Amino acid sequence: MRAADELPVTEDITRFYRPELARVIAKQRLSEMMVLLRLQLNSAETLDHGPGQFLQISLPGYGEAPISFCSSPTRTESFEICVAAVGNLSQAMHHLRPGDFVGVRGPYGHGFPVNDMRGRDILCIAGGIGLAPLRSLINYVADRRSEFGRMILVYGARKPGERLFKDDLAVWDARDDFETRYTVDEADADWTGRTGVVTIPLRDEVEIDPGRTTAAVVGPPVMYRFVAAELLEKGMVAEDILFSLERRFKCGMGKCGHCQLNDLYVCQDGPVFRYSQLLGRSEAIEVWAPEDERK
């Protein structure tokens, strides 16, 4: 996987500054708040992204925002993004229809270090819409199954109606070579599965070999410190715990400083970081309290 700053100098780098047109080829509503868009570059080229990387998506008149890939790079005919309707741009994106166009820049950032993860057991822990970027990694592992050890997925949604990618969840659950633990924070009358936050099945139902395991964690900020505590309790080291962080981005490529976290740019050095990189950085509020004495 390549980050923007690692491109060979011969490659046309203008694509990192100039949005390209991508066409919506399919749209699916995943929950009240979320839609899945399948896109194809107008040029019919592939983006060659890595799991955990993101794109800057734009709509003229509405703005631009970072959105993660939620499809695996092993599935090259198109790429998918999953968008929560939270503001100006994302709400407009919910009104897109097949045939409409968006602007895309990227792929950007350091995603999951899949080369380092090869041969290891993969423990994915997703909370809420954090399943979207992890789906890219999970399907990457699914498509190259023999290259990885155990594949464990712990996924928690707030409510059953907010569960994303229900078809994928069922497929992963049915696979003999995937170990899945799904939970919801608040059950409804129809829910027969687990109840409680993700750390509960993680603590009670997941046994790992800490030396062989890499954990990939994406979810709401409050989840991180609790998941980190559980994983350390299970004997993992901070180096093997990967967190994907979210900040306000502007340029998305290490130029404007909007996304700065102490001496790091989340857009360029991340969004995926090793827990060991975040320890001791006072602005990593997901894992530390702010106004900490650490600098």
Partner 1 sequence: MSKPLFQAAEVLDMAIDIERQGLAFYTGCIAARASEAVSEVFEYAADQERRHIELFARMKQDLAEYTVPESYPGETLSYLRGFTKTRVFSTIDEATCSAEAVRDELEAVEMAIELEQSAIAFYSGIKQIVRSSEQDVVEEIIAEEHRHIRRLLQLKDALQYQDD
Ligand X SMILES: Cc1cc2nc3c(=O)[nH]c(=O)nc-3n(C[C@H](O)[C@H](O)[C@H](O)COP(=O)(O)OP(=O)(O)OC[C@H]3O[C@@H](n4cnc5c(N)ncnc54)[C@H](O)[C@@H]3O)c2cc1C
In terms of CB distance, is 132 or 231 closer to ligand X? Answer: 132
Q: Evaluate whether 80 touches 38 at the Cβ level (below 8 Å).
A: yes
Residue 37's Cβ-count burial label (10 Å; 0-12, 13-18, 19+) is buried
CA distances to 129, 148, 158, 159, 163 from 31, in Å = 10, 31, 12, 11, 7
Q: Where are the beta strands (DSSP E) in the chain?
A: 20-29, 34-41, 54-59, 63-68, 79-84, 101-108, 121-127, 151-157, 179-184, 194-195, 213-218, 241-244, 260-261, 264-265, 272-274
Site string for ligand FES, 94-133 (x = CB under 6 A): ----------------------------------------
Residue 258 binding ligand FES, by CB under 6 A? yes
Residues near ligand X, by CB under 6 A: 54, 63, 65-68, 81-84, 86-90, 132, 246-249, 271
Residue 13 binding ligand FES, by CB under 6 A? no
Residue 267 binding ligand FES, by CB under 6 A? yes
Residues near partner 1, by CB under 8 A: 128, 158, 185, 196-197, 199-200, 203, 220-223, 225-226, 228-229, 285, 288-294
Q: Tell me the C-alpha distance between 157 and 152, whole Å.
A: 17
User: Nearest Cα to 34, choosing from 163, 136, 123?
Assistant: 163
Q: Tell me the C-alpha distance between 234 and 241, whole Å.
A: 12
Q: Which does 36 bind (CB under 5 to 8 A by kind): ligand X, ligand FES, partner 1, none?
A: none
Min separation Cβ 288 and partner 1, Å: 7
Binder to ligand FES among 58, 221, 250, 282 (CB under 6 A)?
A: 250
In terms of CB distance, is 7 or 256 closer to ligand FES? Answer: 256
In terms of CB distance, is 216 or 223 closer to partner 1? Answer: 223
In terms of CB distance, is 65 or 104 closer to ligand X? Answer: 65
Q: Which does 254 bind (CB under 5 to 8 A by kind): ligand FES, ligand X, partner 1, none?
A: ligand FES
In terms of CB distance, is 119 or 193 closer to partner 1? Answer: 193
In terms of CB distance, is 3 or 84 closer to partner 1? Answer: 84
Collect all residues with Cβ–Cβ distance below 8 Å to 236 and sequence separation of at least 6.
Answer: 208, 210, 213, 215
3-state secondary structure 247-295: CCCCCCCCCCCCCEECCEEHHHHCEEEEHHHHCCCCCCCCCCCCCCCCC
Min separation Cβ 4 and partner 1, Å: 28
Binder to ligand FES among 112, 148, 265, 275 (CB under 6 A)?
A: 265
**Contact residues: ligand FES, CB under 6 A:** 249-252, 254-259, 265, 267
